[in-house]
Structure 1
Amino acid sequence: MILATRLLLAGFALCAMAATASAADKIGNCELTGAKGSIPITAPAVPGQLTVAVSLPAPVWWNGDTPEAIKDGMEYCLAAEIAWRAGYDKLKVVAVEFVPLVGGQTSGHDLALSEISITEERKKLVDFSVPYFNSDIGVLTRADNPVDEKAVKSVTVGIQQGTTGAAFALDVLKVTNYSVYAERADLLKALRDGDIDAALTDTSITLSAEATDAGKTKVVGQYKTGEIYAALLPKANTNNAALDKIIQAIIDDGTMKKLSAKYLAAAWGKDPASIPYFQP
Structure 2
Amino acid sequence: MRHTRFVATAGVIALAMGLTACGSGGKDSPAAKADSAPFGDCVITGEAGSHPLELIKDGVVTVKADLPSPGWYNGDTVESIKSGFDYCLLANIAHRGGAKGLDLQNSSFDGLVAGKSGSFDLTLNQITITPERTSVMDFSKPYYESTAGVMVKKGTAMTQGDLANSHLGVKQGTVGQMLVAKTIKPAKDPSVFPGDPEQQAAVAAGRIDAGIQDLSIVLGAAAKSKGALEVVGQIPTNESYGVMMPKGSANVKVVNAMLDEMKKDGTLDKLSSAYLTDAYGIDPTTIPVWNF
CA distance in 1, matches of 2:209, 2:131: 30
Q: Deviations for 1:104-160, whole angstroms, at most 9, x for unmatched residues?
A: 112321101100000011110101001011111110001132422221111210001
Kept after mapping to 1: 8 A contact 2:111/2:117: yes
Kept after mapping to 2: 8 A contact 1:38/1:87: yes
Corresponding residue for residue 256 of structure 2 = 244
**The residue matched to 1:65 in structure 2 has which SS?**
coil
State the one-letter code of the partner of 2:268.
M
Kept after mapping to 2: 8 A contact 1:134/1:229: yes
Kept after mapping to 1: 8 A contact 2:64/2:120: yes
Picking from 47, 52, 74, the partner of 2:85 is: 74
**The residue matched to 1:170 in structure 2 has which SS?**
helix
Corresponding residue for residue 63 of structure 2 = 52
**The residue matched to 1:61 in structure 2 has which SS?**
coil
> Number of residues paired by the alignment?
259
Q: Deviations for 1:77-111, whole angstroms, at most 9, x for unmatched residues?
A: 00001010001221121111000101111232110
Picking from 211, 218, 227, the partner of 1:199 is: 211
Corresponding residue for residue 30 of structure 2 = none
Distance 1:23-1:193 versus aligned 2 partners, 3 A rule: farther
| Displaced runs of 4 or more, over 3 A | none
Q: Deviations for 1:218-237, whole angstroms, at most 9, x for unmatched residues?
A: 11001111110011111011
**The residue matched to 1:113 in structure 2 has which SS?**
coil
Corresponding residue for residue 22 of structure 2 = none
CA distance in 1, matches of 2:282, 2:265: 25
CA distance in 1, matches of 2:260, 2:114: 24
TM-score by length of 2: 0.85
Output aligned runs, 1:153-168, within 5 Å: 153-168=164-179
Q: What is the CA-CA distance between 1:23 and the residue it aligns to?
A: 5.9
Picking from 105, 108, 121, the partner of 1:110 is: 121
State the one-letter code of the partner of 1:139.
V
- Unaligned runs of 5+ residues in structure 2 are 1-32
The answer to whether the aligner puts 1:275 opposite 2:287 as a matched pair is yes
CA distance in 1, matches of 2:154, 2:35: 44
Q: What is the CA-CA distance between 1:252 and the residue it aligns to?
A: 2.1
TM-score by length of 1: 0.88
| Range with greater deviation from structure 2 (180-189 or 127-136) | 180-189
The answer to whether the aligner puts 1:176 opposite 2:191 as a matched pair is no
CA distance in 2, matches of 1:270, 1:168: 24
Kept after mapping to 2: 8 A contact 1:140/1:206: yes
Higher helix share: 1
Q: What is the CA-CA distance between 1:72 and the residue it aligns to?
A: 0.5
CA distance in 2, matches of 1:47, 1:188: 38
Q: Deviations for 1:240-266, whole angstroms, at most 9, x for unmatched residues?
A: 221222222222211000000100012
Output aligned runs, 1:14-29, within 5 Å: 22=34, 24-29=36-41
State the one-letter code of the partner of 2:215.
T
State the one-letter code of the partner of 1:215.
G
